[in-house]
Amino acid sequence: MSFPTPDGVVRAVRGMSFEVERGRTLGIVGESGSGKSVSTQTLMGLTRGAEVSGSARFEGRELIGMPAEELRRLRGAQIAMIFQDPLSSLHPLYTVGWQIVELIRIHEPATTKAQARKWAIEQLALVGIPQPDRRVDDYPHQFSGGMRQRAMIAMALALQPKLIIADEPTTALDATVQAQILDLMARLQREFDTALIMITHDLGVIADMADQVLVMYAGKPIEVAERRELYYRPHHPYTVGLLESVPSTTGAKERLKPVPGQPPSLLRPPSGCAFHPRCPYVMPKCRTDVPPLMGEEHLSACWLPLDVVGLGPEAARRRT
Ligand code: SF4
Ligand code: MG
Protein backbone atom coordinates (compact mmCIF):
# COMPACT_ATOMS: atom_id res chain seq x y z
CA MET A 1 0.00 0.00 0.00
CA SER A 2 1.25 3.52 -0.64
CA PHE A 3 0.09 7.00 0.28
CA PRO A 4 0.12 10.19 -1.75
CA THR A 5 1.90 12.92 0.30
CA PRO A 6 3.09 16.43 -0.62
CA ASP A 7 6.63 15.04 -0.97
CA GLY A 8 5.73 12.25 -3.30
CA VAL A 9 4.34 8.80 -2.85
CA VAL A 10 5.25 7.08 0.39
CA ARG A 11 5.45 3.44 -0.33
CA ALA A 12 4.32 2.45 3.11
CA VAL A 13 3.63 -1.22 2.96
CA ARG A 14 4.51 -3.65 0.25
CA GLY A 15 4.00 -7.32 -0.21
CA MET A 16 2.17 -7.97 3.03
CA SER A 17 0.54 -11.35 2.93
CA PHE A 18 -0.88 -13.08 5.89
CA GLU A 19 -3.62 -15.27 7.12
CA VAL A 20 -4.53 -15.81 10.76
CA GLU A 21 -6.60 -18.72 11.93
CA ARG A 22 -9.00 -18.90 14.84
CA GLY A 23 -7.30 -19.40 18.16
CA ARG A 24 -3.96 -18.23 16.79
CA THR A 25 -1.97 -15.09 17.43
CA LEU A 26 0.10 -13.33 14.83
CA GLY A 27 2.55 -10.80 16.21
CA ILE A 28 3.54 -7.93 13.91
CA VAL A 29 6.71 -6.25 15.18
CA GLY A 30 8.67 -3.24 14.05
CA GLU A 31 9.89 0.22 15.04
CA SER A 32 7.54 3.15 14.67
CA GLY A 33 7.25 4.10 11.03
CA SER A 34 7.85 0.53 9.86
CA GLY A 35 4.34 0.37 8.45
CA LYS A 36 3.01 -2.12 10.96
CA SER A 37 -0.03 -0.08 12.00
CA VAL A 38 -0.69 1.20 8.52
CA SER A 39 -0.89 -2.31 7.15
CA THR A 40 -3.72 -3.36 9.42
CA GLN A 41 -5.47 0.01 9.34
CA THR A 42 -5.59 -0.18 5.59
CA LEU A 43 -6.94 -3.68 5.79
CA MET A 44 -9.72 -2.34 7.91
CA GLY A 45 -10.48 0.51 5.54
CA LEU A 46 -9.33 3.10 8.10
CA THR A 47 -6.83 4.87 5.85
CA ARG A 48 -7.96 6.60 2.70
CA GLY A 49 -6.15 7.04 -0.55
CA ALA A 50 -3.74 4.20 0.08
CA GLU A 51 -2.78 1.80 -2.65
CA VAL A 52 -2.74 -1.72 -1.43
CA SER A 53 -0.69 -4.64 -2.57
CA GLY A 54 -0.44 -8.08 -1.11
CA SER A 55 -3.11 -10.29 0.30
CA ALA A 56 -4.88 -10.62 3.62
CA ARG A 57 -7.38 -13.37 3.93
CA PHE A 58 -9.89 -13.63 6.72
CA GLU A 59 -12.15 -16.66 6.87
CA GLY A 60 -11.48 -17.35 3.23
CA ARG A 61 -12.35 -13.80 2.14
CA GLU A 62 -9.90 -11.37 0.63
CA LEU A 63 -9.95 -8.13 2.62
CA ILE A 64 -7.76 -6.16 0.24
CA GLY A 65 -10.00 -4.47 -2.30
CA MET A 66 -13.17 -5.32 -0.39
CA PRO A 67 -15.83 -2.59 -0.88
CA ALA A 68 -15.89 -0.04 1.97
CA GLU A 69 -19.44 -0.86 2.99
CA GLU A 70 -18.70 -4.55 3.32
CA LEU A 71 -15.56 -3.79 5.35
CA ARG A 72 -17.52 -1.48 7.62
CA ARG A 73 -19.93 -4.28 8.40
CA LEU A 74 -17.11 -6.68 9.20
CA ARG A 75 -15.47 -4.12 11.44
CA GLY A 76 -16.95 -4.09 14.89
CA ALA A 77 -18.92 -7.29 14.41
CA GLN A 78 -16.50 -9.88 13.10
CA ILE A 79 -13.29 -7.93 13.31
CA ALA A 80 -12.59 -5.71 16.31
CA MET A 81 -9.74 -3.30 16.92
CA ILE A 82 -8.04 -2.35 20.16
CA PHE A 83 -5.75 0.67 20.14
CA GLN A 84 -3.01 2.03 22.37
CA ASP A 85 -5.16 4.93 23.40
CA PRO A 86 -8.63 3.86 24.51
CA LEU A 87 -9.83 7.43 24.14
CA SER A 88 -9.50 7.05 20.39
CA SER A 89 -12.22 4.38 20.54
CA LEU A 90 -14.17 5.49 23.59
CA HIS A 91 -16.01 8.74 23.11
CA PRO A 92 -15.33 11.07 26.08
CA LEU A 93 -18.86 12.49 26.16
CA TYR A 94 -20.77 9.24 26.51
CA THR A 95 -20.74 6.71 29.31
CA VAL A 96 -18.87 3.49 28.70
CA GLY A 97 -22.09 1.51 29.02
CA TRP A 98 -23.95 3.69 26.53
CA GLN A 99 -21.21 3.10 23.97
CA ILE A 100 -21.30 -0.67 24.37
CA VAL A 101 -25.11 -0.62 24.22
CA GLU A 102 -25.02 1.41 20.99
CA LEU A 103 -22.53 -0.95 19.41
CA ILE A 104 -24.65 -3.96 20.32
CA ARG A 105 -27.85 -2.37 19.02
CA ILE A 106 -26.29 -1.32 15.71
CA HIS A 107 -25.15 -4.83 14.97
CA GLU A 108 -27.98 -6.70 16.74
CA PRO A 109 -31.03 -4.51 16.06
CA ALA A 110 -33.43 -7.01 17.64
CA THR A 111 -31.86 -6.46 21.06
CA THR A 112 -33.82 -4.22 23.45
CA LYS A 113 -32.10 -1.45 25.40
CA ALA A 114 -32.49 -3.37 28.64
CA GLN A 115 -31.00 -6.53 27.14
CA ALA A 116 -28.09 -4.58 25.66
CA ARG A 117 -27.41 -2.92 29.00
CA LYS A 118 -27.35 -6.29 30.76
CA TRP A 119 -25.02 -7.53 28.02
CA ALA A 120 -22.74 -4.49 28.52
CA ILE A 121 -22.55 -5.14 32.27
CA GLU A 122 -21.64 -8.78 31.61
CA GLN A 123 -18.90 -7.64 29.24
CA LEU A 124 -17.43 -5.32 31.86
CA ALA A 125 -17.49 -8.15 34.41
CA LEU A 126 -15.79 -10.45 31.91
CA VAL A 127 -12.80 -8.14 31.60
CA GLY A 128 -12.44 -7.78 35.36
CA ILE A 129 -13.98 -4.36 36.00
CA PRO A 130 -15.14 -4.31 39.62
CA GLN A 131 -18.76 -3.35 40.34
CA PRO A 132 -19.68 -3.42 36.66
CA ASP A 133 -23.34 -2.59 37.34
CA ARG A 134 -22.18 0.77 38.72
CA ARG A 135 -19.19 1.42 36.48
CA VAL A 136 -21.35 0.94 33.39
CA ASP A 137 -22.68 4.48 33.93
CA ASP A 138 -19.23 6.06 34.27
CA TYR A 139 -17.57 8.19 31.61
CA PRO A 140 -14.21 7.07 30.18
CA HIS A 141 -12.30 9.73 32.15
CA GLN A 142 -13.59 8.23 35.39
CA PHE A 143 -11.62 5.06 34.65
CA SER A 144 -7.88 4.58 35.26
CA GLY A 145 -5.69 3.90 32.22
CA GLY A 146 -5.73 0.15 32.79
CA MET A 147 -9.50 0.09 33.43
CA ARG A 148 -10.10 2.10 30.25
CA GLN A 149 -8.08 -0.44 28.34
CA ARG A 150 -10.23 -3.18 29.91
CA ALA A 151 -13.39 -1.29 28.94
CA MET A 152 -12.15 -1.03 25.38
CA ILE A 153 -11.49 -4.76 25.33
CA ALA A 154 -14.99 -5.33 26.71
CA MET A 155 -16.39 -3.26 23.86
CA ALA A 156 -14.19 -4.98 21.27
CA LEU A 157 -15.38 -8.38 22.45
CA ALA A 158 -19.05 -7.49 22.86
CA LEU A 159 -20.05 -8.94 19.51
CA GLN A 160 -17.77 -11.98 19.79
CA PRO A 161 -15.54 -11.06 16.87
CA LYS A 162 -13.59 -13.75 15.08
CA LEU A 163 -10.55 -11.56 14.68
CA ILE A 164 -9.11 -8.96 17.05
CA ILE A 165 -6.46 -6.53 15.88
CA ALA A 166 -4.64 -4.95 18.82
CA ASP A 167 -2.29 -2.08 17.98
CA GLU A 168 0.20 -1.43 20.82
CA PRO A 169 -2.60 -2.17 23.29
CA THR A 170 -0.39 -1.89 26.38
CA THR A 171 2.28 0.61 25.37
CA ALA A 172 0.89 3.47 27.45
CA LEU A 173 0.55 1.37 30.62
CA ASP A 174 3.06 0.67 33.36
CA ALA A 175 4.66 -2.78 33.44
CA THR A 176 2.34 -4.37 36.02
CA VAL A 177 -0.87 -3.21 34.35
CA GLN A 178 0.61 -4.14 30.97
CA ALA A 179 1.15 -7.73 32.15
CA GLN A 180 -2.42 -7.89 33.50
CA ILE A 181 -3.92 -6.68 30.24
CA LEU A 182 -1.84 -9.12 28.20
CA ASP A 183 -2.94 -11.98 30.47
CA LEU A 184 -6.53 -10.88 30.09
CA MET A 185 -6.27 -10.79 26.30
CA ALA A 186 -4.64 -14.21 26.19
CA ARG A 187 -7.33 -15.68 28.46
CA LEU A 188 -10.21 -14.19 26.48
CA GLN A 189 -8.68 -15.32 23.24
CA ARG A 190 -8.54 -18.91 24.49
CA GLU A 191 -12.07 -18.68 25.85
CA PHE A 192 -13.57 -17.35 22.62
CA ASP A 193 -11.19 -19.02 20.19
CA THR A 194 -10.56 -15.72 18.41
CA ALA A 195 -7.78 -14.98 15.98
CA LEU A 196 -5.55 -12.20 17.28
CA ILE A 197 -3.15 -9.86 15.52
CA MET A 198 -0.89 -8.09 18.03
CA ILE A 199 1.00 -5.11 16.69
CA THR A 200 3.93 -3.95 18.79
CA HIS A 201 7.40 -2.40 18.70
CA ASP A 202 8.53 -4.67 21.52
CA LEU A 203 9.30 -8.33 20.87
CA GLY A 204 9.08 -8.84 24.63
CA VAL A 205 5.35 -8.08 24.62
CA ILE A 206 4.45 -11.00 22.37
CA ALA A 207 7.11 -13.43 23.62
CA ASP A 208 4.51 -15.46 25.55
CA MET A 209 1.58 -14.88 23.24
CA ALA A 210 2.36 -15.09 19.55
CA ASP A 211 2.19 -18.32 17.61
CA GLN A 212 3.72 -16.69 14.60
CA VAL A 213 5.74 -13.49 14.31
CA LEU A 214 6.11 -11.16 11.35
CA VAL A 215 8.89 -8.57 11.61
CA MET A 216 8.51 -5.43 9.50
CA TYR A 217 11.16 -3.05 8.32
CA ALA A 218 10.70 -0.05 6.01
CA GLY A 219 7.20 -1.11 5.09
CA LYS A 220 8.00 -4.72 4.28
CA PRO A 221 7.93 -7.99 6.11
CA ILE A 222 11.57 -9.06 6.52
CA GLU A 223 11.21 -12.15 8.68
CA VAL A 224 8.26 -14.46 9.31
CA ALA A 225 8.48 -17.52 11.52
CA GLU A 226 6.84 -19.52 14.26
CA ARG A 227 7.56 -17.90 17.62
CA ARG A 228 10.15 -20.41 18.88
CA GLU A 229 12.00 -20.32 15.60
CA LEU A 230 12.11 -16.55 15.63
CA TYR A 231 13.25 -16.18 19.22
CA TYR A 232 15.75 -19.04 19.25
CA ARG A 233 16.99 -18.96 15.66
CA PRO A 234 16.44 -15.45 14.37
CA HIS A 235 17.84 -15.05 10.90
CA HIS A 236 17.55 -11.44 9.86
CA PRO A 237 20.15 -9.15 11.50
CA TYR A 238 17.40 -6.63 12.24
CA THR A 239 15.46 -9.25 14.21
CA VAL A 240 18.67 -10.13 16.06
CA GLY A 241 19.01 -6.43 16.93
CA LEU A 242 15.39 -6.21 18.11
CA LEU A 243 15.87 -9.25 20.33
CA GLU A 244 18.93 -7.67 21.90
CA SER A 245 16.91 -4.54 22.65
CA VAL A 246 14.21 -6.42 24.58
CA PRO A 247 14.49 -5.35 28.22
CA SER A 248 15.43 -8.21 30.50
CA THR A 249 12.56 -9.75 32.46
CA THR A 250 14.66 -9.67 35.64
CA GLY A 251 13.59 -6.11 36.17
CA ALA A 252 16.42 -4.15 34.58
CA LYS A 253 14.78 -0.90 33.57
CA GLU A 254 17.08 0.31 30.83
CA ARG A 255 16.63 -0.77 27.23
CA LEU A 256 19.77 -2.69 26.46
CA LYS A 257 21.36 -1.98 23.12
CA PRO A 258 18.71 -0.39 20.95
CA VAL A 259 19.21 -1.16 17.27
CA PRO A 260 21.76 1.53 16.28
CA GLY A 261 20.79 4.11 13.67
CA GLN A 262 17.48 5.53 12.56
CA PRO A 263 14.61 3.81 10.77
CA PRO A 264 14.74 4.73 7.08
CA SER A 265 12.54 7.27 5.36
CA LEU A 266 9.73 5.50 3.60
CA LEU A 267 9.86 8.24 0.97
CA ARG A 268 13.41 7.42 -0.03
CA PRO A 269 14.19 3.96 1.25
CA PRO A 270 17.86 2.93 0.94
CA SER A 271 18.88 0.99 -2.16
CA GLY A 272 19.21 -2.76 -2.05
CA CYS A 273 18.37 -4.13 1.38
CA ALA A 274 16.66 -1.26 3.22
CA PHE A 275 18.45 -2.30 6.43
CA HIS A 276 21.93 -2.07 4.91
CA PRO A 277 22.91 1.33 6.42
CA ARG A 278 22.37 -0.13 9.91
CA CYS A 279 23.44 -3.70 9.34
CA PRO A 280 26.64 -4.97 11.01
CA TYR A 281 26.80 -7.78 8.41
CA VAL A 282 26.47 -5.58 5.31
CA MET A 283 28.08 -6.99 2.14
CA PRO A 284 28.54 -5.24 -1.26
CA LYS A 285 25.57 -7.08 -2.77
CA CYS A 286 23.31 -5.72 0.02
CA ARG A 287 23.68 -2.16 -1.30
CA THR A 288 22.41 -2.99 -4.76
CA ASP A 289 20.15 -6.05 -4.67
CA VAL A 290 16.86 -6.19 -2.81
CA PRO A 291 16.66 -9.50 -0.94
CA PRO A 292 13.26 -11.19 -1.39
CA LEU A 293 11.58 -13.13 1.42
CA MET A 294 13.19 -16.55 1.13
CA GLY A 295 12.60 -19.87 2.85
CA GLU A 296 9.85 -22.40 3.41
CA GLU A 297 8.51 -22.22 6.96
CA HIS A 298 10.95 -19.67 8.29
CA LEU A 299 11.08 -16.76 5.85
CA SER A 300 13.74 -14.08 5.84
CA ALA A 301 14.69 -11.29 3.45
CA CYS A 302 18.48 -11.28 3.84
CA TRP A 303 21.41 -12.32 1.65
CA LEU A 304 23.33 -13.77 4.57
CA PRO A 305 23.72 -17.55 4.52
CA LEU A 306 21.73 -19.10 7.38
CA ASP A 307 24.69 -20.77 9.06
CA VAL A 308 26.66 -17.57 9.65
CA VAL A 309 23.91 -15.78 11.60
CA GLY A 310 24.74 -15.82 15.28
CA LEU A 311 28.48 -16.06 14.66
CA GLY A 312 28.75 -12.28 14.91
CA PRO A 313 29.69 -9.90 12.10
CA GLU A 314 33.46 -10.58 12.21
CA ALA A 315 33.24 -14.35 11.97
CA ALA A 316 30.51 -14.02 9.37
CA ARG A 317 32.74 -11.84 7.21
CA ARG A 318 35.47 -14.47 7.24
CA ARG A 319 32.94 -17.06 6.08
CA THR A 320 31.21 -15.09 3.32
FE1 SF4 B 1 22.31 -7.08 6.38
FE2 SF4 B 1 22.73 -7.63 3.84
FE3 SF4 B 1 21.09 -9.14 5.25
FE4 SF4 B 1 20.41 -6.66 4.58
S5 SF4 B 1 20.77 -8.39 3.18
S6 SF4 B 1 20.16 -7.60 6.56
S7 SF4 B 1 22.36 -5.59 4.75
S8 SF4 B 1 23.29 -8.89 5.55
MG1 MG C 1 1.69 2.48 15.07
Write out pLDDT tens, residues 207-220.
888 999 989 888 88
Give the pLDDT confidence of 2-48 residue by residue, as tens digits. 444 444 444 445 555 667 778 889 898 888 767 666 666 666 655 55
The answer to whether the CB of 52 is under 6 A from ligand 1 is no
The answer to whether the CB of 304 is under 6 A from ligand 1 is yes
In 246-289, beta strands by DSSP E: none
- Residue 274's pLDDT band, with cuts at 50, 70 and 90, is very high
Higher per-residue confidence, 263 vs 290: 290
Q: Which residues of 39-50 are buried (b: 16+ CB within 10 A; e: fewer)?
A: bbbbbbbebeeb
The answer to whether the CB of 217 is under 6 A from ligand 1 is no
Domain boundaries, the chain: 3-78+161-319
What's the gap in Å between 80 CA and the centre of ligand 2? 17
Helix (H) or strand (E) holding 240: helix 237-244
Secondary structure class of 68 (helix, strand, coil): helix
Rounded CA-CA distance 150/192 in Å is 16
The answer to whether the CB of 293 is under 6 A from ligand 1 is no
pLDDT of residue 295: 85
In this structure, of 6-20, 31-45, 71-85, 153-167, the range with the lowest mean pLDDT score is 6-20
Secondary structure class of 204 (helix, strand, coil): coil
Amino acid type, 3: F
What's the gap in Å between 84 CA and the centre of ligand 2? 9
Chain centre to alpha carbon of residue 242: 16
Rounded CA-CA distance 244/257 in Å is 6
CATH number, domain 3-78+161-319: 3.40.50.300
The share of the chain scoring above pLDDT 90, in percent, equals: 32
pLDDT of residue 10: 42
Q: Assess: ipTM above 0.90.
A: yes
- Residue 54's pLDDT band, with cuts at 50, 70 and 90, is low
Q: Are 92 and 140 in contact (CB under 8 A)?
A: yes
Sorted by sequence, the CB contacts under 8 Å of residue 117 that are 6+ apart come out as: 97, 101, 136
